[in-house]
Amino acid sequence: MEAFEQELRALLRSDVEFIQLIEDDLVYAGGKRVRPRLVHLASRALDPAGVPHEMRLALAVELLHSATLLHDDLVDGAETRRGREAAYRRYGNAVSVLSGDYLLSRLLYSLAETGRMELVYLFAEVARELSEAEVLQFQAAAYGEHREDLYFRIIRGKTAALMQAATEGAAVLLGLAPAHPWRRALVEFGEAYGLAFQMRDDYLDLMGDEARLGKPVGGDVREGKVTLILLRLLAHAPEEVGAILARRGAGEGDIERLRALAEATGAAGEVVDRIAREVERAEAALAALPESPAREELAALARAELGRLG
């Protein structure tokens, strides 16, 4: 990933100080680089030497992810990002939003460098899904629409669509048709892995350990976001859980009560089982690809989502 970090720095270099400071905070502060890693592994699962313009694709997925973080922090009123004060709090709303737009401009540049119009269409659809999902999440909270079909549409758009683009994009760069079994395998893997990834994140927001998370649990409840574990809790104890969600966990002991109910009712176990099914689907999809160390690393990446639940 060292080459990726160098390319990212070169692509984002700007002589506008505020832009550079924000990019230093958000992008260079690190993160797990899960999406570029997906690109790298998918490329090598298709060809041990990698696919043409693999680096441009890796940059594009990370830039879109980073741009959404800038915008999300402002919308959600987040205090910090990766242990630092959120950019909009330091530089103001306008600078933060416009710096996110700068990231999007570099994303478009990276896509153009591949010369693959199909990849541009793919990312355009991802951006549409992502935007719709973010608005739908607010709409569902405003109307009190507590439904699993909405939840899965939201996390498909917010998370899984970009992870699918990371894996499918490698097949696009290799020139594989949509019906090619290798491309279909990477589409399914990317979606299933993305859903498992977001469900695990949502689960830990309520059931995780605060010391390991580095933030208080129950953030989704306080923001009015209804995640899968909360939907399952509503099914088991609609009156009590509904009242807690209506006041957004503002009552004394609300979050602790939800955690206790999740264990007592079996809601926590139901969510873990749902995550496990997506992990299994992701692994099964990889069977269509040739055996390789990269394919095994992709499978291990999916299995790790279950390991992070403890």
- What secondary structure does DSSP assign to 244-261, as a single string? HHHTTT-STTHHHHHHHH
Q: Given this model, what pLDDT does residue 26 score?
A: 64
Q: What is the mean pLDDT of residues 118-129?
A: 97
* CA trace torsion 254, 260, 266, 272 (10° rounding): 80
State residue 292's pLDDT score. 98
CB 72 within 8 A of CB 134: yes
Q: How far apart are CA 137 and CA 8, in angstroms?
A: 31
C-alpha–C-alpha distance, residues 227 and 218, integer Å: 11
- Residue 59's φ and ψ, nearest 5 degrees, are -65, -40
Q: What is the pLDDT of residue 89?
A: 61
81, pLDDT greater than 60: no
Report the mean per-residue pLDDT for the chain: 91
The C-alpha torsion from 183 through 187 and 193 to 198, rounded to 10°, is: 150
Between the alpha carbon of residue 110 and those of residues 58, 62, 144, 301, the distances in Å are 9, 11, 40, 26
Residue type, 132: E
pLDDT in tens, 174-224: 999 999 999 999 999 999 999 999 999 999 999 999 888 877 899 999 988
Q: Which pLDDT does position 76 carry in this prediction? A: 64
Domains in the chain with CATH codes = 1-30+54-114 (1.10.600.10), 116-310 (1.10.600.10)
Q: CA dist 205 to 148, 202, 208, 223, 288, Å?
A: 18, 5, 6, 12, 34
What tokens appear for 79 in the block? 């205090």
Please compute the mean of the pLDDT values over residues 23-52 and round it to a whole number: 87
Model's pTM, two decimal places? 0.92
**pLDDT band at residue 309 using 50, 70 and 90 as cut-offs:** confident
Whole-angstrom Cα distance, residue 138 to residue 150?
11
The answer to whether 163 touches 191, Cβ cutoff 8 Å, is: yes
pLDDT band (50, 70, 90) for residue 78 = low
State residue 9's pLDDT score.
87
The per-residue pLDDT for 12 is: 87
